[in-house]
Amino acid sequence: MSFLLPLLISLLLGLLLWILRGRTRKPGEPPLVKGWIPFVGKALDFGKDAHKFLEEHKREYGDVFTVRIAGKYMTFIMDPLLYPSIIKQGRQLDFHEFTNKVAPLTFGYPPVLRTAFPGLWEQIKRSFQLLQGDHLAPLTESMMGNLMLVFRQDHLNGESDWRRGSLYEFCCSVMFEATFLTIYGRPATGVRHGGMDRLMNDFHKFDNMFPFLIAQIPIWLLGRTLAVRQKLISYFLPQHMAQWTNTSQFIQRRAELFEQHDELKDVDKAAHHFAILWASVGNTLPATFWAAYFLVSQVEALKVVRQEIVDVLRDSGVDFSNSSDIMLSKEQLDKLVFLESAINESLRLSSASMNIRVAQEDFSLRLDSDRSVGVRKGDIIALYPQSLHLDPEVYDDPQTFRFDRFVQDGRGKTDFSKDGQKLSYFLMPFGSGSSMCPGRYFAINEIKQFVCLLLLYFDLQLEDGQNRPGLDPSRAGLGILLPSSDIRFRYRLRSV
Ligand code: HEM
């Protein structure tokens, strides 16, 4: 007995160490980087600066390598010429396994399992079409009216003196409310919901905790986040939403779908609607800021883009004057190639979303005509397009904002290459393949509309002595990065 106990303990310790040490590389698998901390692996280094981490590992291990991050094995594909083979690989690589697990925990609704809610997942997917195609024109028209309403009432009230503001705060307050009105509709009485500031503040509190929730940190460990989330969700309870008018077809359709599933409680339906609030403004607010900031910070870019907007209006018989409201249709917005290029360029510089697929079985992943690597069931295959967006071989002088980088011969430029080969994917702020953001066309249109109003109605200047704001890395992998600090600016009504 006296020698059996130590033997048992050392056997158990050995087993535990073996489990914590993780797996070893098999022939045919990519180089494996485990880090020295059991389970955690390289999570801390990755979290500190994902772009730098991946670039350093690419230099050491080549274009494809596997990293242990918080118990998961993630295989990064760094060469953008290999992206098509990952994006088109549907059968063995699944995107939704990941979101179906993480989104319910983050937003607080029950997992949309096929067994518990037959057909709901497919119906939700189909509802995304109501953000695109023929449905885009009415959405865009409604957004224009709502932006004009908020601009007119809050910022166009006659004074022609310089006013001071903080640019991120300005962009957020206008875009949050106008997007909310467009997607969810107007209150039963009046044209604007009361308490939008409070709702947006709560949204920001939740949003600050978003990276922790996505990392599956239990919400009860995150201070008041649970209470804040409950407050946000309660805003969307069916009895409140039933009173709203002009609600988008997209949200109406989703509300109808949820009604068909008796198993969903009212609070679950509200949580689904809340998730759409995050999807519709979580990235759009910082993306709007970056587009506005870069344009205001470059006098030449601002001049060209403003002139383009004035010309498109004039071509349709409208001479702009600051006393009248303007309306820009989807067709007019499509003609704004320099503005679209400036927005794309700001997305290139600010987006850091990770495209994730989960291997459904052990298999050999074909990378190109003469290369394959072994991956194991449950492994994550990841694309990190920020590396592509900042690759000097693809984008000359990649840290510089060039408003016309995406214009060629008066049209949108799509011709970008690496190693002399044309890239199928060169700008990926909206993800890729079957999981690509369904709100992307609406998002670009609403940012265009916002910038049009800003440039048409106001003279704009950044206050002196401020550096280009940094990118707050806390959201790396999750979408558009927030500015690490706000920017002070001055604006006054233009005399036209
Ligand atoms: C600049 C603004 C936006 C950016 C950068 C953005 C980016 C993204 C990204 C990266 C994804 C995940 C795709 C993937 O992993 O492959 C996504 C998903 C999604 N986005 Fe957006 N988005 C934006 C605006 C919007 C807007 C305005 C809406 C709706 C009105 C929206 C609705 C959605 C929805 C519903 C999904 C989930 C799709 C699914 O589950 O298949 N997004 N977005």
pLDDT at 19: 55
Q: Is the CB of 425 within 6 Å of ligand 1?
A: no
Mutation to probe ligand 1, out of 284, 437, 440 (largest number of atoms < 8 A from CB): 437
Is 284 touching ligand 1 by the criterion CB < 6 Å?
A: yes
Residue 115 resides in a domain: no
- 5 CB-contact burial (10 Å; exposed 0-12 / middle 13-18 / buried 19+): exposed
Q: What is the C-alpha separation between 427 and 416, in angstroms, rounded?
A: 10
Secondary structure element (H or E) that encloses residue 358, with its range: strand 355-359
The reply to whether ligand 1 has any atom less than 6 angstroms from the CB of 355 is: yes
For 31-56, give one letter per residue: b (16+ CB within 10 A) or e: ebbbbeeeeebbbebbbeebbebbbe
Please tell me the residue having the least CA distance from ligand 1 atom 30.
280
The answer to whether the beta carbons of residues 349 and 389 sit under 8 Å apart is yes
Task: Compute, in angstroms, the gap from residue 284 CA to the centroid of ligand 1.
Answer: 9
Q: Which residue owns the Cα nearest ligand 1 atom 21? A: 437
Task: Determine if ligand 1 sits within 6 Å of the CB of residue 280.
Answer: yes
| 246 labelled ligand-binding | no
In a domain, 1, yes or no: no
Of the candidates 148, 15, 111, the residue with the CA atom closest to the CA atom of residue 452? 148
Q: Is 275 in the pocket of ligand 1 (CB under 6 A)?
A: no
Quote the number of domains for the chain. Answer: 2
Is the shortest distance between the CB of 431 and ligand 1 below 6 Å?
Answer: yes
> Are residues 125 and 83 part of one domain?
no
Residues 97 and 133 in one domain: no
Q: Are 480 and 429 in contact (CB under 8 A)?
A: yes
Which residues, including other chains, have CB under 8 Å from residue 335's CB and lie 6 or more apart? 312, 315
Read off φ and ψ for residue 407, nearest 5 degrees: -120, 135
Cα–ligand 1 centroid distance for 179 (angstroms): 14
Assigned domain for 171 exists: yes
Contact 343, 443 (CB under 8 A): no
Residues 6 or more apart whose CB falls under 8 angstroms from that of 305 comprise 295, 336, 338, 339, 342, 403, 451, 455
Q: What is the DSSP letter of 63?
A: S
Of how many residues is the chain composed? Answer: 496
- Closest atom of ligand 1 to 275 CA is 35
Q: Return d(Cα 359, Cα 377) in angstroms, integer.
A: 5
Instruction: Please tell me whether the overall predicted TM-score, pTM, comes out greater than 0.85 for this model.
Output: yes
CB of 282 closer than 6 A to ligand 1? no
CB-based contacts of 240, cutoff 8 Å, min separation 6: none
Residues 365, 333, single domain; the answer is no
pLDDT for 253: 97
Nearest ligand 1 atom to the CA of 435 is 16
Give the per-residue pLDDT at 216. 86
* Residues 270, 300 within the same domain: yes
138 and 86, same domain (yes or no): no
Q: 3-state DSSP call for residue 324?
A: coil
Q: How remote is the CA of residue 23 from the centroid of ligand 1, in Å?
A: 34
pLDDT of residue 6: 53
Residue 11, in any domain of the structure? no
Query: Are 44 and 176 found together in one domain?
Result: no
What pLDDT digit, counting tens, does each position of 325-371 carry?
A: 999 999 999 999 999 999 999 999 999 999 999 999 999 999 998 89
Residue 20 CA to ligand 1 center (angstroms) comes to 36
Both 184 and 170 in one domain: the answer is yes
Q: Which atom of ligand 1 is nearest to the CA of 276?
A: 35
pLDDT in tens, 136-188: 999 999 999 999 999 999 999 877 899 999 999 999 999 999 999 999 999 99
Tokens 């008018």, residue located: 245
* Residue nearest ligand 1's atom 7 by CA: 430
Strand partners of residue 364: 374
In a domain, 240, yes or no: yes
Residue 100 assigned to a binding site: no
Query: Does ligand 1 have an atom closer than 6 angstroms to the CB of 100?
Result: no
CATH number at residue 207: 1.10.630.10
Separation of alpha carbons 460 and 452, rounded Å: 13
Instruction: Check whether residue 431 and residue 371 sit in a common domain.
Output: no
pLDDT < 50 stretches in the chain: 1-2
Tokens of 393: 């071989």
Tokens 């690989």 identify what position? Answer: 89
Report the alpha-carbon distance of residue 163 to residue 155 in Å, rounded.
10
Residues 245 and 370 in one domain: no
The answer, yes or no, to whether any atom of ligand 1 lies below 6 A from the CB of 430, is: yes
Vertex 15 angle, CA 9 and 19, to 5°:
145
| Structural domain for 34, as ranges | 24-102+356-383
Q: What is the pLDDT of residue 35?
A: 80
Ligand 1 center to 398 CA (angstroms): 25
- Which residues share a beta bridge with 365? 373
Decide if 3 is inside a domain: no
User: Does 438 sit in the ligand 1 pocket, CB within 6 Å?
Assistant: yes
Instruction: Please tell me the predicted confidence (pLDDT) of residue 112.
Output: 87
What distance in Å separates the CA atoms of residue 449 and residue 144, rounded to the nearest whole number?
A: 7
The answer, yes or no, to whether any atom of ligand 1 lies below 6 A from the CB of 180, is no
Residue 14 lies in a domain: no
Same domain, 232 and 84: no
Verify that 98 and 180 share a domain, yes or no.
Answer: no
Q: State if residue 437 touches ligand 1 by the CB under 6 angstroms criterion.
A: yes
Q: Is the CB of 483 under 6 A from ligand 1?
A: no
- Asked whether the beta carbons of 311 and 371 are under 8 A apart, the reply is no
Whether 250 maps to a domain, the answer reads: yes
If one residue of 86, 425, 430 were mutated to test the ligand 1 pocket, choosing by the most ligand atoms within 8 A of its CB, it would be 430
Residues 378, 395 within the same domain: no
